[in-house]
Structure formats: C-alpha cells, structure tokens
Amino acid sequence: MSLTDEEVYAKYADELLRFAATLVGPSGAEDLLSSSVLKAMTSPGWDAVTAHRAYLYRAMVNEARQLNRATTRRLAREARAVGPEEFAPFGLRTEVLAAIGELSVQQRAVIFMTYWLEYSIEEVADSLGLSQRTTERRLESARTTLRGALL
Amino acid sequence: MNADELDGEIRRALTEIGDAAGIAPRFDQLRIDELGKSSRQLRPRRHRRLTLMTATVVVIGAGLWALAQVAQPDDALVSTAPITPAPATAADIGTEPPSVVADPSLPTQSTVPATWTDSTLQPATSMSPHESPIAPLAIGDSIMLGAAFALEELGLVVEAEETQTFEDVLRLTGALKQSGRLGDVVVIGLGMTGIPDAAAVEQIMANLDEVPNVFFLTFAGDRPWLTAYNELVRTLAGRHQNVKVIDWATKAGDCTGDCFAADGLHLVAEGREYYARIVMEAIAARSAD
C-alpha cells in the first residue's frame, strides 16, 4: 500500500530538515524543506515516484542549488546589518558554520551523505547523479576545505 | 589533525548544524492543503513560521554563514536573476525512481501552463545596476536539468526546469533582454513537452536577436513529435544567422557507459557529463570560427 503525501513527509521530515540545514544553514533550513517538499509533491511526476526519499533528497539539492545565490546575498546584507561581534547563533560553534559555509552546495550534499547517512561513494554518486569519480573529487576537496576550517 | 580526527570533527559539525535547525514543521504547516492535487501547477508559497524572537536569532546566525559563502567559487556560476526553484526529475534521482518521466500525453506546449509566473519575472526590477550579462546561459527542460551540475562545472549558468516550455523561455528571455542580462551565448534544450508554437519560437528569436551565439539542441528520444520538433530546430539555423544546432538527436547515441535512465531520455551519470561536454564543444567550436 502506497503512503499518502503526509505519511511520506512524516517519515522523512526530520532527516530532510537536517539535510537542509547542512545545505543552506540552520536559518534557511525550514524554508528549504518546505519549498522543496511542496515543489516535489506538486510536480506532475510525483504520483509515479516510488523512491520518495531519494526523490526528496534530490529535489532539495536542486532547490538549494538554485536558491544559493539569492540566499547568500540576502544573508550577507543581514550580516552587515547585525555586525560580526554579535554572532552567537544557536549555540553553534562559529567555526562550524564558517567551515560548512565554505563548501559548495554539492560538496555539502556529498559530505552529509557520506558522514551522516554513511552512504558509500557509489550510493552518494547515485543519489546526486554524479559519476563516482566526480563524487570522490567532491568529497576530497570538501575534506581538504574542512580540514583547514575546523582546525 | 589526522584523518580520524577530521572525520570526527565533520560528524560533530553536522550534528551541531542539524540540531540547530530545530524540529521540522508539521505537514499541514507546509500549506500543502492549500495547493492540493488539483492545483499542481501553482507555485508553492514560501513558508515562514518564525516568531519575531527566533527570527532575530536567525538573522544573527545567518550572518556568519553568509560571510563564509560570499567568496564561494561555485556561487559565481549561478545566475543572479531570480530563479524559480527546479524540481527533481527522474534524471535527478539517479537510478532510484526511473518510473518518473515527463508526461508523454502532452502533445503540444499549449496544454502546459507556464512555469514562469508573473511574480517570478522580476529580474529587470530587482537587479542592481552593476549586475552584468549572463554568459553563457543554458535554458532547458528536465533533460538539461539532469546535466545542470555538469554544465555548471563547465562554467554555464543553467536555467533548467521540469516541463519548461518555449512559452516559459519566451518570458525568461524577454525579461533578461529587458534587463540587459543576455550575454553572448544562450543554449536552449527543450522538446519534452511537444511541438512549440511557431510564433513563440520566432518571438524568442526576436528576444535573442542581439545574442551572437544561440544554440538549439535537437531532441533525442521516443516521442511522437521527435521528427517535427527536430525539423523545426534545424530550420531555425537556416533562418537566423546567430543560431547553431547542437544535434543531440545524433550525438546521444554515441554516449558510452551509464548514460540514460530507463525511459531512454533522461540523463544519468556518464550521460550528464557527456551532454555537458557536447554543449561545451559546440560553444568552443563556434568561438573558434
């Protein structure tokens, strides 16, 4: 028996929100979750989707990639308005946000799937529609960036 | 920091960021009921349920994130014009949901509502004066959407969306022309939604009349309108000096490896990179002329 949209959402919402936070930061995670889920579930092909989880992950990556530029510019304006001395977000270590923020959307997705979902390179490549070679390059470059940022 | 320590730090960072995002909203808070199955073509509304207090915290938190991203190289490849978020397609899900394909029952584009709504057509008014033309720009449907990452890797700005039609492209190119953001190269790859209206195609060409290099991809796949569509594309090159055809219908068959989803249309791993390479080779060849 197939799941209703609400059941699908309930099943994956928490992990998708976490993924969204990795892709666009905690402040934009809820918006990204909402927009990508709504977009996926109202798309013409949704009824034919059987692998809902994979579909939603992929929809979120696409959405984040498209939104990334506008989000970055908006948040940069907000940051200038607030001033750096006031950063104390969410109890997060500031270097964590800064480190993940240095990655591209695609690198963040690779990192999340590798370290949080514990996917293999092949599974990450399949999920993101990349070749395994490209996936390995993304992972390595992300690790190099994070090594410097998290030191 | 050794490899194990780095792995631990990365997992810790992901934990912190995920925890900071809080709790996912309920399904009904997504306003999916407002849209409903009968309103599939409506644009999802952005959802915000932040309180004033949390919004304040969010603004502060967002700042550091934004500062870290300002110099991010990948962002330079993304259009600064407002972009309608793209949905996932069969090609975007890799091998998992091959059952998702574009609707073959769509015989012509007149049956497909435009996906660029009026509210999204704001590039002319929302862009700052210093924003420069987008070049090269690739506009397409779900086929191109599958190759979006690969195209962006090669330096293209990609505006691809599932079921994107010539009417959508007409609106998009019109808005970009009005705002002076059309560059020297525009690539158009459509065909999933049928035969376009000839007038719409000519209007698009009118929008692109000052673009020196316009590339149209032919369509490859088992669709009733394949021959007619490709004939239309090929005739464009005869009528417009700035048009060059990228014959995807011919070249697609030369892709080796894991190129296509089960539908034979949408791209998967090697196919995405091959598609991007074909496009870039065409652009490079034109530049060399």
DSSP classification of residue B246:
E
Is a pLDDT exceeding 80 seen at residue A148?
Answer: yes
Beta bridge partners of B205: none
For B270, nearest residue in chain A (alpha carbons):
A131
- Do residues B14 and A111 make contact, with C-beta atoms less than 8 angstroms apart? yes
For A103, nearest residue in chain B (alpha carbons):
B72
For B128, nearest residue in chain A (alpha carbons):
A73
Using CB atoms, pick whichever of A13, A21, A62 lies closest to residue B18: A21
A15: tokens are: 């992990």
What pLDDT, on a 0 to 100 scale, did the predictor assign at position B45? 29
Q: Which residue has the higher pLDDT, B18 or A15?
A: A15
Angle at which helix A94-101 crosses helix A132-150, to 10 degrees, equals 150
Q: Do A129 and B92 touch (CB under 8 A)?
A: yes
- Do residues A29 and A17 make contact, with C-beta atoms less than 8 angstroms apart? yes
What pLDDT, on a 0 to 100 scale, did the predictor assign at position B255? 94
- Do residues B116 and B168 make contact, with C-beta atoms less than 8 angstroms apart? yes
Q: pLDDT digits over A45-99, tens only?
A: 888 888 899 999 999 998 887 776 555 544 444 444 434 433 434 555 667 777 7
What pLDDT, on a 0 to 100 scale, did the predictor assign at position A88? 39
Q: Alpha-carbon distance A88 to B60, whole Å?
A: 7
What pLDDT, on a 0 to 100 scale, did the predictor assign at position A17? 94
Q: Among residues 80-109 of chain A, which lie with CB inside 8 Å of chain B?
A: 80-82, 84, 86-94, 96-106
B160: tokens are: 């691809």
What pLDDT, on a 0 to 100 scale, did the predictor assign at position B2? 84
Task: For the beta carbon of residue B179, count every other beta carbon within 10 angstroms.
Answer: 18
Q: Among residues 3-62 of chain A, which lie with CB inside 8 Å of chain B?
A: 5-6, 9-10, 13-14, 16-18, 20-22, 25-31, 33-45, 48-51, 54-56, 58-59, 61-62
- Do residues B194 and B106 make contact, with C-beta atoms less than 8 angstroms apart? yes
Q: Alpha-carbon distance B161 to B141, whole Å?
A: 5
Using CB atoms, pick whichever of A9, A102, A127 lies closest to residue B94: A127
Q: Map residue B195 onto helix, strand or coil.
A: strand
Using CB atoms, pick whichever of A63, A65, A72 lies closest to residue B66: A72
Q: Do B90 and A147 touch (CB under 8 A)?
A: no
What does each of the 289 residues of chain B score in pLDDT, given as a tens digit? 788 888 988 888 888 888 888 888 888 777 533 333 222 232 332 222 323 333 333 444 445 454 444 434 333 323 333 333 333 443 333 333 322 333 333 333 322 222 222 222 223 333 333 456 777 899 998 899 888 878 887 888 888 887 788 988 998 899 889 888 899 999 999 998 888 888 889 999 999 999 999 999 999 988 888 999 999 999 999 999 999 999 999 999 999 988 998 888 888 888 998 999 999 999 998 877 7
Task: For the beta carbon of residue B63, count every other beta carbon within 10 angstroms.
Answer: 25
Residue B272 CA to its chain's centroid (Å):
13
Q: Band of the pLDDT at A1, cuts 50, 70, 90?
A: low
Residue B19 exposed, middle or buried by CB count within 10 Å (0-12, 13-18, 19+) = middle
What pLDDT, on a 0 to 100 scale, did the predictor assign at position A70? 52
ipTM of the complex: 0.84
Q: Which residues of B touch A51 (CB under 8 A)?
A: 93, 96-97
What pLDDT, on a 0 to 100 scale, did the predictor assign at position B84? 34
Q: Band of the pLDDT at A114, cuts 50, 70, 90?
A: very high
What pLDDT, on a 0 to 100 scale, did the predictor assign at position A68? 61
What pLDDT, on a 0 to 100 scale, did the predictor assign at position A118? 93
